Amino acid sequence: MKYIFITGGVVSSLGKGLTAGSLGALLECRGLKVCTQKFDPYLNIDPGTMNPSQHGEVYVLDDGTETDLDLGHYERFTSSTLSKKNTFTSGQIYASVLHKERNGDYLGKTVQVIPHVTNEIKERIYAAGEDADVVITEIGGTTGDIEGLPFLEALRQIALERNHENVLFVHVTLIPFLKAAGELKTKPTQQSVAKLREIGILPDIIICRTEIPISDEMRQKISLFCNVPVKSVIEELDLKVSIYELPSLLHFEKLDDIVCEKLRIQTQPCNIQPWETIVEKIKFPKRECTVGLVAKYLDVKDAYKSVYEAIAHSGIQNDCKVNVEVIDAEELEQADEMDEFFSNIDGILLPGGFGNRGIEGKILAAKFAREHRIPYFGLCLGMQIAAIEFARHVLGYGDANSTEMVPETSNPVVRMMLNQRNIQKKGGTMRLGSYPCKLILGTKAYEAYRNAYVNERHRHRYEFNNDYRQQFEERGMIFSGINPDFDLVEILELKDHPWFLGVQFHPEFRSKPQRAHPLFADFIAAVLKEKV
């Protein structure tokens, strides 16, 4: 097994996850089987209880694991379907150590970070990718973080255990441009590499994030101070058009050649063509449209990361540039006039969310889409909102709501799922992961999937209340996707509307740049069709 360890230096948000995913993509282009894995040094067991405004989106895997959004990059850039074996936090590692201690597994010993915590980390790296050629392990955070130290120590031990063979250290760092001096600076990189060396890790490859190209002279300087050959100083320029340019950019810098040479892997030549085709399509779209994203987590763009990506994939598939205009749900709530918010909007998308804030604004957006025949796509909460809106304004139940928002509402068209009602603990207890959905022939959902059964990823506690199903149907709502085991509404759509569809799941988690999710692709196709 070959191991590639990716660490980050100087600042967070360097795009290590994108770099790890893109390296995975390049190795797959050379015919290798790749396994990607991430360790997050925070103490939460998983990010499931974290606010997306701080941490960004919570990404969900098929097996229901709630993870960091970098796992989303890994799944989008590589062909892998990931599971709980691909994501760990310090919280999980320590919980396991403490559980073993109480169990008496270490009887007689003093339990310590080295070796007990580091052993747990190593076990998880060794257990990854049984049938892969290469394991790419990313360590979250930045060198020098106190909480990241046990992970770096574990990597150092793995290199030692493997005789420094078949192990490669890639350090992603920032080369800041100082405007006042008019210069790029290498000192932060030198210092972050010094931090790695302090712990006994000598990076093999330095990937330099930079706003402007780095000169040969600068590459030589980084090479000298960081102790890597000049050709292993890789420039990673800020991407102009799309993140999907990254595999080609790193290939141009010969990253995959260097990696394969250092790990002594013989492969077929790299077939970068599929990525170049994608970039080509993004660069030269034939048409353009604008989707309004009615949102409430506004401080961090990453809060809706996979939704943005799935929209971009649908653009690629439809040969079109999709602009996303964020509409603040709370502002909508206050507005007297809806028209101004939607004057430039060709389609309305309501993403998932939790809690009461912004709900009334979202309901107004769904009403606007229904009445003005604007294509509408509701994801999870976005489906529940569509149901509430329909109950209020078509069925005439003015107080219809979800019991999440108003527990005592007299018309709970969305209510807590039965098996959720006795759950007290918050972490990892929602309806999570992949569940089957049966599609009804002749519906827009079926038309998109062209399949009678599909599996989609979930993350919710509330559901459509089946007591209202008949009344909805009588007034033109179609329940086009149903969970066959529990008769839960998974997809609803309006009969007399160009394209108005809500899904209880998160299709954005299964969309790929080469293969947009069918519902996203059809939503954008409908947006384009209605635009003319």
Kindly state the tokens that stand for 168. 């490669």
Tell me the site size for ligand GLN, rule CB under 6 A: 10
Query: DSSP character for 229?
Result: -
Cα–Cα–Cα angle for 87, 453, 460, rounded to 5 degrees:
45
| Site membership for ligand GLN, residue 460 (CB under 6 A) | yes
Closer to ligand GLN at the Cβ: 368 or 462?
462
Rounded least distance, CB 469 to ligand GLN, Å: 18
Contact residue for ligand GLN among 204, 235, 256, 404 (CB under 6 A): 404
Specify the stretch interacting with ligand GLN by CB under 6 A; choose among 95-103, 321-329, 360-368, 459-467: 459-467
Rounded least distance, CB 403 to ligand GLN, Å: 10
Catalytic residue among 116, 171, 251, 506: 506
| Site membership for ligand GLN, residue 405 (CB under 6 A) | no
Contact residue for ligand GLN among 462, 472, 499, 505 (CB under 6 A): 462
The C-alpha atoms of residue 174 and residue 428 are separated, in whole angstroms, by 35
Instruction: Please indicate whether residue 389 is annotated as part of the active site.
Output: no
Q: Which residue is nearest to ligand GLN (CB)?
A: 352
Instruction: Please indicate whether residue 226 is annotated as part of the active site.
Output: no
Look at the block and give the residue holding tokens 């209605």: 530
| Site membership for ligand GLN, residue 353 (CB under 6 A) | yes
Closer to ligand GLN at the Cβ: 57 or 522?
57
Helix, strand, coil shares, percent, the chain, to 5: 40, 25, 35
For residue 503, report the phi and psi dihedrals to the nearest 5 degrees: -125, 140
Which residues ranging from 363 to 392 are in contact with ligand GLN (CB under 6 A)? 380-381
Specify the stretch interacting with ligand GLN by CB under 6 A; choose among 113-121, 213-221, 456-464, 510-518: 456-464
Catalytic residue among 66, 309, 404, 508: 508
Cβ atoms within 10 Å of 466's Cβ, excluding its own: 15
Q: What is the dihedral of CA 180, 182, 187, 189, to 10 degrees?
A: 110
Specify the stretch interacting with ligand GLN by CB under 6 A; choose among 23-31, 255-263, 358-366, 453-461: 453-461
Give the type of residue at 70: D
Q: What separation, in Å, do the N-terminal and C-terminal C-alpha atoms of the chain show?
A: 54
Rounded least distance, CB 140 to ligand GLN, Å: 23
| Site membership for ligand GLN, residue 461 (CB under 6 A) | yes
Rounded least distance, CB 20 to ligand GLN, Å: 26
Specify the stretch interacting with ligand GLN by CB under 6 A; choose among 147-155, 291-299, 335-343, 349-357: 349-357
* Secondary structure, 3-state, 463-512: EECHHHHHHHHHCCEEEEEEECCCCEEEEEEECCCCCEEEECCCHHHHCE
Q: In what order do the strands lie in the sheet with 500-503?
A: 320-328, 287-295, 347-350, 376-379, 500-503, 488-494, 477-483, 431-439, 453-460
Instruction: Please indicate whether residue 508 is annotated as part of the active site.
Output: yes
Catalytic amino acids? 380, 506, 508
- Interface positions with ligand GLN (CB under 6 A): 352-354, 380-381, 404, 459-462
